[in-house]
Amino acid sequence: MALKVGDQAPDFILVSDQHEEIALKKFRGKKVILYFYPKDDTPGCTREACDFHDNLEKFNKKNTEIIGVSKDSIEKHQKFKQKYHLSFTLLADEKGEVCESYGVINKKSLFGRSFLGIERSTFLIDEEGVICAIWRKVKVNGHSQQVLNELN
C-alpha cells in the first residue's frame, strides 16, 4: 500500500556518510525533507543535491533537516559530498529496504531495457513524524523551491 499524506512516516535506521547510525525518529521536533534519488554524481542527482544545499539556510530557518537517501555506498556518498561541498546528511540504503518501505522502487527503462530503480521522490515529514507532502517522479529544476514554498 502506497504512503499518503497523513500517514506516519516509516521509521528506519541507516548509516550516514559520517558512519553514524541515523534513525528518523531522532529528528522529532523538526521538519524533515527526506528525498530519494537514483545515484550519486549523476547530472540530475547532482543538480538536485546542489539546489537543496544552496537553499540550506532557508530550510534551517524553517527548522527543517534535509536528508538524502540512495542505494549508493557510504564511500560514494562521502566522495559526492566532498566534490560538491554538500553539508547535509546522505544515508546509504544499500539493501533498498527503506526505499521499499517508502514505495520509491519502481520499474524504469533506459535505452530500451527495463530495470528496478529509485524513482526520484521527496517526502516532507512534520515534527511529529507525519507525512505532510509527497512529490513523486520529481523534476529536478525548481524542486527545491517547490519544497520551500510548501513550508511557507
Question: Which residues are part of the catalytic machinery?
Answer: 45
What does the DSSP assignment read for 23-85?
EGGGGTTSEEEEEE-S-TTSHHHHHHHHHHHHTHHHHHHTTEEEEEEESS-HHHHHHHHHHHT
Question: Percentage helix, strand, coil, to 5, in the chain?
Answer: 30, 30, 40
Closest alpha carbon to 49 in 77, 29, 13, 73: 77
Tell me how long the chain is.
152
Distance in angstroms between the alpha carbons of the first and the last residue of the chain: 29
